[in-house]
Amino acid sequence: MLFQRNIRDVTPHRQRLILGVTCLFVFLRSSNALAHTDVTSQEQFNRVMPGGLPDQLHYNPDRASLEVRADDQNCPVSARGFFELSVNPQGEVTRAKDVSRSRSVHPKSMAPQWVRNILMQIRFKPLRLGSKTTSVHTFATVVCQ
């Protein structure tokens, strides 16, 4: 006689397996989510270290944007870009990703790599949450003027 399993015996095991895999997935995703703090650009740029902005940049708190001196090669007048910034616990920009959705077909548009290199030079005061410093995730609008 063949061994016959009762359907009720299989279901709890399968449910435990699915629950365990789901919990593992949620734990792994949440540990990544807790690794940084999202802040507004205004909040983040209030923590720029003295001398922490490169000479080419100026932060305009009224418009919550970074202004770059315009030039004909990399940053024509009134060009704009939107960048995602990741800042490590020491206050150094570790990633500046161009997330602009639209690009001008005009050959004289902002050079994202050039702007990215400037953004990577910014230094912030570390963000403290309680007794720990944390990494920061924010966005910045860059305007050529």
Q: Is residue 140 part of a domain?
A: yes
Give me the half-sphere count of Cα atoms (radius 13 Å) on the Cβ side of residue 101: 0
Query: Quick check: 97 pLDDT over 70?
Result: yes
β-strand partners of 134: 127
Terminal-to-terminal C-alpha distance of the chain: 85
Highest mean pLDDT among 8-17, 43-52, 96-105: 43-52
d(CA 33, CA 140): 21
Write out the residue range of the structural domain in which residue 88 sits.
35-144
Q: Is residue 70 part of a domain?
A: yes
Q: Is residue 127 part of a domain?
A: yes
Q: Is residue 30 part of a domain?
A: no
Q: Pick 127 or 108 by higher pLDDT.
A: 127
Query: Quick check: 9 pLDDT over 80?
Result: no
Q: Is residue 95 part of a domain?
A: yes
Residue 33's pLDDT band, with cuts at 50, 70 and 90, is very low
Looking at the structure of the chain, the number of domains it has is: 1
Q: Is residue 21 part of a domain?
A: no
Residue 12's pLDDT band, with cuts at 50, 70 and 90, is low
Query: Quick check: 39 pLDDT over 80?
Result: yes
Residue 20 dihedral angles phi and psi, to the nearest 5°: -65, -45
Residue 4's pLDDT band, with cuts at 50, 70 and 90, is low
Q: Is residue 131 part of a domain?
A: yes
Mean pLDDT of the chain: 83
b/e per residue 17-43 (b: at least 16 CB within 10 A): eeeeeeeeeeeeeeeeeeebeebebee
Q: Is residue 9 part of a domain?
A: no
